[in-house]
Structure 1
Amino acid sequence: MNNWIAGLSETELKYMAPALFVYEDDPEDAAIFMYREGLSKPMAAAGDKEVFIARAKQEKESRPPKSYWKQVKHEIFTLICRSDSKYDQLRKSLEEVSEQGTKVIVATVAASVGSIMGVEAGITKI
């Protein structure tokens, strides 16, 4: 079970979500930062890491509470650690796409969890 997890690449995940580099010691902050697509300007526009961190901190302070992230964590925990039948089809799909790599796995999880949470899958940029 969960063989699809082996198909994930930490490097690819960090490329897809640069906030994971900046906040690698605190995944809670990374998740809060990434909620609602992160900064309005690309990371490269900041010039250097210190400017990016300052800009990220300022924007993070204006974000909604962690309730969204808590729900995402709950759903991911349910997917990975429980045998809740609501994720049976997703688990089957993940096993089928596990060889296709991180992007496909993340997109598959995002679409399914998003639909369960009532969030449009199209907001996930990959």
Structure 2
Amino acid sequence: MAQSARKASTGKARANSRESAKEFAPFPIIGIGASAGGIGALQKFFPEVPVDSGFAYVVIQHLDAEHESVLASIIQRSTAIETKTAAEGLKIEPDHIYVTPPGVSVTVEGQRFHVAKMTTMRARRTPIDDFFASLAHDQAE
């Protein structure tokens, strides 16, 4: 009896979680992590993505703060999807590609970007992991 009550409770919690996720995630946000060597793959990937997919794409590149990034312009040359650099408070919209700037940690909350300067040692910076963790939390199921 206790097991079936627990299962019913778990089922309701999952349903509530799904309803909550639907409320906060009207469209999928796709996170793509890349090192400097991933540019070629991105140039092959984005031309194959439909302009009206209904998805938002966020490319998180692991670059040193002193390294200037031209990734947004490189991607823009290979697709008709509008490509922007993620910025503090910028609302994430479907049918857009966002590229994170170097030297910062970018997270998402309420489908808006939050940008913070990285303060940890170079060897311990995890911008891709940080973004994915915040995306999973924000988007739920």
TM over 0.5: no
The TM-score with structure 2 as length reference comes to 0.28
More helix by share: 1
Highest CA radius of gyration, 1 or 2? Answer: 2
More strand by share: 2
The TM-score with structure 1 as length reference comes to 0.30
